[in-house]
């Protein structure tokens, strides 16, 4: 069934990504990590649907936040990041997916690894941890092209300052900030060893990003002793309208 959400806020995360806050009066609630289908309909009835991860924690206000990265040849993402205005109504279906999720009952260490806009569902987990008062130890390894490509920067900093059970390591692939200790480059075994939980703590790992990023992150996690059944992945591929 399709629900109707009203856009109540828009926030540019980066030059190409925007967070859309929707008020969805009949929202049934969600679990951090789930996604929704969004449907756009043209005046002649033609419609297009894409999936986007929910970036917000479950909340009592019936608010759902989606962060959409604009894809150069996308059909739906240019509309959502450039045309959509506060007050517009959007149709959505969901929440969907019961695998790539974090629930507040989980007390084990959590390792999050994000590539680019793959941060969105992981941010929902971090926010959900904070809003439920969970004390599960979290670490996030967040790989971005350049400093300007970071989503949720202030929110992440606030959550970090408030709780020393959440750790964050940025990794830059193209351009790093001045004096950054690690030269720009893709994630590698040394970075995984430095920035993730030791595998003997048996963390549950959530890895989200482009396919090639996820494949290599998972290979490094496995090589450092993490069991495959503790690694959950969400990939978005070359066509990639996912996220």
Partner 1 sequence: MGIISRGFSGRRSTADVKLPPGQYLTTDFPVLSAGPTPHVSLDRWEFVIDDGTNVLRRWDWKAFRELPTETFTVDIHCVTRWSKLGTSWEGVSLDVLLADVRTDLSYAMFRSYGDYTTNVPLKDVINKQAWVAFKFDGADLAPEHGGPARLLIPHLYFWKSAKWVKGVTLMSHDKPGFWESLGYHIYGDPWREQRYSGDE
Residues in touch with partner 1 (CB under 8 A): 2, 4, 39-43, 45-51, 75, 79, 83, 85, 88-91, 93, 96-100, 211, 215, 218-219, 221-222, 228-229, 231-233, 235-242
Least distance CB 86 / partner 1 (angstroms): 12
Least distance CB 156 / partner 1 (angstroms): 26
**Bond preceding residue 95 cis, omega within 30 of 0:** yes
73 or 105: CB nearest partner 1:
73
133 or 228: CB nearest partner 1:
228
Identify the DSSP state of 175: -
How far, in Å, CA of 198 to CA of 80, rounded?
A: 40
Block residue for tokens 């959590």 = 110
121 exposed, middle or buried (CB, 10 Å; 0-12, 13-18, 19+)? buried
47 or 165: CB nearest partner 1:
47
Least distance CB 83 / partner 1 (angstroms): 5
Q: What is the dihedral of CA 188, 194, 200, 204, to 10 degrees?
A: -70
Token pair, residue 192, equals 């995984």
46 or 200: CB nearest partner 1:
46
Token pair, residue 160, equals 């970090």
Least distance CB 50 / partner 1 (angstroms): 7
């Amino acid at each position: 069934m399709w629900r109707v959400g009203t856009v109540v806020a828009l926030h540019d995360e980066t030059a190409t990504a925007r967070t859309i806050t929707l008020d969805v009066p009949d929202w049934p609630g969600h679990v951090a990590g789930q996604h929704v289908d969004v449907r756009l309909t043209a005046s002649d009835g033609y419609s297009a649907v894409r999936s986007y991860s929910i970036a917000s924690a479950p909340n009592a206000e019936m608010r759902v936040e989606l962060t959409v990265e604009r894809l150069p040849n996308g059909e739906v993402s240019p509309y959502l990041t450039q045309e959509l205005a506060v007050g517009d109504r959007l149709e959505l279906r969901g929440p969907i997916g019961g695998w790539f999720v974090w629930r507040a009952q989980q007390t084990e260490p959590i390792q999050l690894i994000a590539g680019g806009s793959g941060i969105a569902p992981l941010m929902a987990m971090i926010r959900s941890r904070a809003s439920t008062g969970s004390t599960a130890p979290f670490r996030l390894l967040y790989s971005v092209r350049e400093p300007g490509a970071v989503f949720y920067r202030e929110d992440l900093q606030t959550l970090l300052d408030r709780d020393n059970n959440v750790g964050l390591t940025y990794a830059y692939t193209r351009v790093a900030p001045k004096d950054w200790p690690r030269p720009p480059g893709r994630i590698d075994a040394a970075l995984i060893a430095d920035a993730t939980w030791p595998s003997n703590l048996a963390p549950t790992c959530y890895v989200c990003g482009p396919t090639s990023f996820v494949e290599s992150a998972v290979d490094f996690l496995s090589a450092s002793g993490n069991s495959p059944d503790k690694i959950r992945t969400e990939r978005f591929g070359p066509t990639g309208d996912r996220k």
